[in-house]
Structure 1
Amino acid sequence: MADKSENSDKSAANGRGGSPAALEVLRTAGAQLAELTGLRAETVTRFERTDEGWVIEIEVLELPRVPDTMSLMASYEVTTDRDGQLTGYRRARRYERGRSDRR
C-alpha cells in the first residue's frame, strides 16, 4: 500500500481533480502527433484548456531545405480530451521558416 505522501505527490503531478498535468498533456499530444504524421514537434505556440480538454498548436518541420531558412514548416492544431488523449488534429498553416506572418 502506498503511503500518504506518495499519493499526494501523484495527485500534484496529475494537476486538478486527477486530470493529467499540463506538461504530461503536451508530451503525450506531441508523441501522438509524431506517430500519426511522422513529423517531430519543434515548438508549441498555443496551449489552452477548454471544456472538452485541450487545444494545442504545434509547429513541425515538414520539408527540410538548404538553406534552412527555406525549409517548409507547418503549424498543426491538436485537440485532446480531458485525459490528454488526442481526439483530432489539422494542419492550420504551412510556411517557409524564414518568413514572418503578415499580421
Structure 2
Amino acid sequence: MTEDLGEVTAAQAAERALDHVERLTRRQPLGVTSVAPTEEGWLAEVEVVEESRVPSTANILGLYEVDMEVNGDLVSYRRTRRYARGRTEG
C-alpha cells in the first residue's frame, strides 16, 4: 500500500505499526511498546505472541522493530527479540 497520506501522528504511526506486523506475521500483536520519530519517519516496537502455551505465562513473545516513512508506509521490519512472557531483562 503506497498512498500519500501526509505526515501521521505518533498515535497513528503506532496503529500503522500494529497493522504492518499483523499483516506480515499473520499473528495478533499485543501492543506497541514504543514509538519514536526519526529523521526519515517513525520507528516503533510491537510485541507479538509467537507461540501460545498452557499456561499463558509460558507463552513465547517476539518484539518487532518497525521502520516507517513519515506517512506511515512500511520501510522495513525485523524481530529483535524472542523471550518467555514475564521474563525481564537482566
Shorter-chain TM band? 0.7 to 0.9
Counterparts of 1:70 and 1:39, CA distance in 2: 17
Q: Does 1:30 align with 2:18?
A: yes
Deviations 1:47-96 (Å, cap 9, x if unpaired)?
Answer: 11000101101111110000111100010000001111111101000000
SS at match of 1:28: helix
User: What is the number of residues matched between the two proteins?
Assistant: 86
Structure 1: unaligned runs, 5 residues or longer: 1-13
Aligned to 2:64: 76
Structure 2 unaligned residues grouped into runs of 5+? none
Matches within 5 A, 1:2-81: 18-81=6-69
- Superposed CA RMSD in Å reads 1.4
CA distance in 2, matches of 1:81, 1:36: 17
Q: Which has the larger radius of gyration?
A: 1
TM-score (norm 1): 0.77
Identity %: 38
Which of residues 56, 65, 75 in structure 2 aligns to 1:87? 75
- Whichever structure has more strand as a proportion of its residues is 2
Instruction: Give the number of the structure whose residues are more often helix, by fraction.
Output: 1
